[in-house]
Amino acid sequence: MEVNYAQMRELKVGRYVVIDGEPCKIVEIETSAPGKHGAAKMRIVAIGIFDNQKRTLLKSADAEVEIPVLNKVNAQVVSVQENTAQVMDLTNYQIYEVAIPEDQKENVKPGTNVELIECLGKRAIFRVLGR
């Protein structure tokens, strides 16, 4: 599992964080003022990269959180079955099966080049590059 660590106060909207073992993109951050005896709290709302589920993280501003390491890989679609595509990595020629996102179904065809995102042992089609 490839992750880095950062403090909650260093996070910004648009960056990534691991919540409940899932890499998520941050969409909203709220900070509360510090109390008389306590540290400031931060509430982060994020959307999962692979499952599009909304998740919330609530911790103090100086708490450590996991930041996922995202790898982008260029691949070519070898074949398409209903909701999955077989893709071949263009650097090491390995073949993977990945789910096709709903918004990309009409664009993913055999012979098409795509960009995959890899993180925490999972892969997903990030965008379609064309032929």
* Last-in-domain residue among 27, 53, 68: 68
* Last-in-domain residue among 68, 85, 105: 68
Q: What share of the chain in percent tops pLDDT 90?
A: 33
Residues 11 and 39 in one domain: yes
Amino acid letter, 65: V
- pLDDT for 69-114, tens place per residue? 989 989 998 988 888 889 898 888 888 898 888 777 888 888 889 8
Which CATH number is 55's domain given?
Answer: 2.30.30.30
pLDDT band at 131 (very low <50, low <70, confident <90, very high): low
Q: What is the pLDDT of residue 44?
A: 94
Domain count, the chain: 2
Phi, psi dihedrals of residue 8, rounded to the nearest 5°: -55, -40
* Structural domain that includes position 89: 71-130
CB 58 within 8 A of CB 42: yes
Rounded to two decimals, the pTM is 0.79
